[in-house]
Each structure stands twice: as structure tokens, then as C-alpha cells.
Amino acid sequence: MTDLFSISGKTALVTGGSRGIGKMIATGFVEAGAKVYVSSRKAEACHELAAELSRVGECIALPADLSTEPGCRALADALAERESMLHILVNNAGNTWGAPFEQFDDAAWDRVLSLNVKGVFHTTKFMTPLLRAASGPDDPARVINIGSIDGIMVSVLETYSYSASKAAVHQLTRNLAKRLAPSITVNAIAPGPFESKMMAATLEAFGEQIATNAPLKRIGRPDDMAGAAIFLASRAGAYLTGALIPVDGGMSTVGA
């Protein structure tokens, strides 16, 4: 059982890894013995987290802007200069936008879709050679896309482009799973409410109500997120591909 859930010795890249969901996953991976590269647009935050996690294991900062195709290619090239293979890619980098329906303009769509959807596609595309190099007969390389329960159920907030982008990530996950099999599995995690910068205002205003309405009666913890990602990245998750796993305390079962 210990070996079944082990990711020790694997190399992982977590985009948007300097805070929130990405930080939870990167921390869990490092503590589980993986060599972890963390990437984010903000270089200072990226290096700060890498220094913090390097006191526990091996963590390297690799800043990048994944909102453009050249930025995604540059990250893949930078990683290829350091590694000959990549066992785990976590596509977590993302953005959100909230505005009233009447004021929701092109900028609200372009900024979110460029990073949340196109960034996932292009990063995966450029990382595929390194992922295939890491694949074994019974242990394929892994891509884990971070979606959201907002892509499953209707959000109470007016975040139209964010919700649409996460639904797109879920479907893109299925398409990539079919295309990249059998050497690479592609699965998605759809987080519910977790403490993060993106969720801070929502939890401050509605946190108690959200927890009360969730079947499991609480907000997600970092180890909840790390555990789901480690499962998908380990031998235990080797036969899953194209799956969408809500990690939400059951919130997606009760509707908006």
C-alpha cells in the first residue's frame, strides 16, 4: 500500500504553484518525496515558496507567464534545459473575473480564457515530449488539470468567463485523455471552497454559510487537495484517465 500511493523520486511541475491550490499541491508533492518545480507569473512569490519548501525537500522556482503560447513554450524549454523527463504536470495557473452581467466585456473573457483554457492546452502540448519520456508500461506520465465546481454547477457570483473556462477545462481534459493515451493520463480535479487568495473575499463574506450548506460541513483543507493530487499522480491512479474528480465536500451534489 505504501508503494501504491508513492510519488517519491518523481519529477513534477505545478503551474500557478506559488499560492492557493497550487501551493497546497506543491507542498504535498514535496513532502511525499517528489522533486517539484513551481511556476507562476510572479517571480518573487515563486522563489519564496521554493525556498520555503526546499527546507523540506527539493523544490525549484521556474517563473513563467502562461497566458500566451510563447510563454508556455518558454516554460517547456526552460524545464527541458534542466530535466530529461517530467512525470507529473499540474495545470493549475488560472485567473478569475467578476462583474455585473451588463458590464462583462471582452477583457473579462480574453484575460480569463487565455490563461485558464489556452494556457492549459499549450502548456500540455509543449510538455508532451518530456512527459512521454517519463512514461513506463505500467506507470504512465500524468497531467492533472485543475478545474472547479463552478464548471459543474452555477456559481452564485457573476464570474461568467471563469465558470465557462472551467467547464472548458473539464471537456479539454477528456479530449486530451483520449489523444495522449496510453503514455500519458489526463485527469481533472474540480475544487470546491478552499482557503486561497482567489477565494478570500468569498469566504470572508459567505464562508460560514458555504460550510453549513456543504454536505461535509466544512471548507477544504490543504491535505484534502494534496491527497487527491497524490492519488492521481501515484501508481494508485494509473488506470484513470479522462476523469473529473470533485474535491468539494459534496457541494456539487446539492446544486447552486
**Does residue 162 carry a catalytic annotation?**
yes
Distance CA 205, CA 190 (A): 22
Q: Is 5:25 a contact under the CB 8 Å cutoff? A: no
What is the sign, positive or negative, of the torsion defined by CA atoms of 176, 177, 182, 183?
positive
**Cell numbers of 14, please?**
505545478
**Cell numbers of 116, please?**
485558464
Write down the H helix ranges in 32-187.
43-53, 69-80, 106-113, 119-134, 160-180
Kindly report the number of other CB atoms within 10 A of residue 36's CB atom: 30
Q: Is 251:239 a contact under the CB 8 Å cutoff? A: no
Question: Which residues are known to be catalytic?
Answer: 162
